[in-house]
């Protein structure tokens, strides 16, 4: 399974609220980095986090707009609905962001959220315009 396929399966598991599926796709040292917040490190800590998030926000979905891969790193630009932002879907879908994933040996090592900006898109290999 290539890196992009691993990332798309990870997103599908998120969208299904399938925490066991997420756990299966995470490396033991999996790290979640949400913008400037402190990182959450380790599969067990991340599984606990996803269990809580999926329970609190069962309608949470990631909607992929485009994807780029460079040397095992995958960038996904898109938007969410049903998140902790508690916005109507029509408002939340206007807030795009980028997820960066490092994949090794068929597992996600990192899952990082960054701002969707022209500079970030160019840096990670995504088209500079949406």
- Residues 83-109 have pLDDT tens digits of 999 999 999 999 999 999 999 999 999
Residues in the chain: 130
Residues 6+ apart with CB under 8 A from 110: 30, 31, 32, 33, 100, 101, 102
Terminus-to-terminus CA distance in the chain, angstroms? 28
pTM score? 0.94
Q: What is the pLDDT of residue 72?
A: 76
* C-alpha to C-alpha distance for 36 and 87, rounded to whole angstroms: 22
Output the CA torsion sign for 66, 43, 57, 36.
negative
């Amino acid at each position: 399974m290539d890196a992009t396929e691993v990332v798309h399966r990870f997103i599908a598991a998120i969208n299904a609220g399938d925490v066991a599926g997420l756990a299966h796709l995470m490396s033991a040292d999996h790290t979640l980095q949400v913008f400037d917040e402190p990182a959450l490190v380790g599969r067990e800590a991340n599984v606990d986090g996803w269990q809580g998030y999926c329970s609190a926000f069962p309608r949470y979905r990631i909607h992929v707009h485009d994807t780029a891969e460079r040397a095992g790193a995958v960038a996904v630009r898109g938007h969410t609905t049903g998140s902790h932002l508690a916005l109507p879907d029509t408002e939340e879908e206007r807030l795009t962001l980028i997820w960066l994933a490092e994949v090794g040996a068929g597992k996600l090592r990192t899952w990082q959220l960054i701002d969707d900006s022209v500079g970030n898109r160019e840096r990670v290999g995504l088209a500079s315009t949406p």
